[in-house]
Structure 1
């Protein structure tokens, strides 16, 4: 528990840095551009999108506090820039929670595919399958259990794909030295 409190305290300190705010602004711009132009649709229900990658990069670089704030703010900004469907605060809550979860798993921790798989699985189970299904059920008046099988299948298919894409992108950024530059670490 002490480690988690320290993690959140260190992440909270990050949010006070101008460099953090600047990088978050750049990542938000990249996320908005990616959401507008890039996605691969497989059938009616499966879509491989890349706009979540900047969120996860922020989570890795700056931790759960910054990741949660960034996720919530970006969810609202994306809706204002390109509204799709109705705005529902539950989805913003999910974006905040995903940032908190992923930041807790990845901030100041060694990069590994198993760590990303576990972090992504936690986000998938808590945010995507439970909460998102609940919000969709509430919004559209459909039974939670009726929505659940299709959402389980979709997330089971996308979990390893999204995790692998994220791992490759973060590994490439680590290898190129960009993370060290952002964190002001010596090579």
Structure 2
């Protein structure tokens, strides 16, 4: 019945809840240091997102991702578009299902998870939403494939994929961070 544990909201102690708040605040701070244009941004929020997914799972990760996205958008002064929040929730769900309750994450698990997240969320959904909300005409699959925005985002994802995999592996399997998790959740 280990599968059902993914869909059971775990109770959090005060220390674990405080740690979640710190990770959410850190994610918001890291998101302020993105590099690039509106179409092509590079950020390292996948680190805090991965830690939240590994330690809290999808059921705490989804509300955390929603709050992070909402507060980040609120601070940016841009109009709030719920569709981008849904993409952020999809990413949190992918990471949460793949990483939750695993003390040691394998290279294969991280590589496949990051690939799925980059492909589904960044390349397909975010590119589509950017084209819709920025009035870039994409009437067919052929038009989408010939659009320069898709190739810029594919290139960005291809560059970020090995970087995200290596950093995620190093950080998510760090023994000191695992001890921090044990202190917050088990003591």
Q: Give the Cα separation in 2 of the matches to 1:160 and 1:150.
A: 17
Give me the TM-score of the superposition, normalised by structure 2: 0.81
Larger RCO (CA within 8 A; separation ≥ 6): 2
Select the residue among 39, 43, 46 that pairs with 1:49. 43
Q: Give the Cα separation in 1 of the matches to 2:180 and 2:47.
A: 15
Q: Post-superposition shift, 1:42?
A: 7.9
**Are residues 1:168 and 2:170 paired?**
yes
Select the residue among 95, 104, 107 that pairs with 2:97. 104
Give me the TM-score of the superposition, normalised by structure 1: 0.81
Q: Post-superposition shift, 1:134?
A: 1.4
Query: Paired residue for 1:94?
Result: 87
The 1:45–1:142 alpha-carbon spacing in structure 2 relative to 1, beyond 3 Å, is: closer
Secondary structure of 2:169's partner? Answer: helix
Mind listing any 5+ residue stretches in structure 1 that lack a counterpart? none
Q: Deviations 1:78-117 (Å, cap 9, x if unpaired)?
A: 112233x432111111111111110100001232222111
Q: Which moved more, 1:124-133 or 1:26-35?
A: 26-35
Query: Paired residue for 1:13?
Result: 10
Q: Give the Cα separation in 1 of the matches to 2:37 and 2:18.
A: 38
Query: Paired residue for 1:139?
Result: 133
Alignment length, in residue pairs? 178
Query: Paired residue for 2:22?
Result: 26
Q: Post-superposition shift, 1:23?
A: 1.7
CA RMSD of aligned residues (A): 2.6
The 1:31–1:71 alpha-carbon spacing in structure 2 relative to 1, beyond 3 Å, is: same
Q: Give the Cα separation in 1 of the matches to 2:23 and 2:128.
A: 29
Q: Post-superposition shift, 1:176?
A: 6.2
Q: Give the Cα separation in 2 of the matches to 1:34 and 1:168.
A: 18
Query: Paired residue for 2:72?
Result: 78
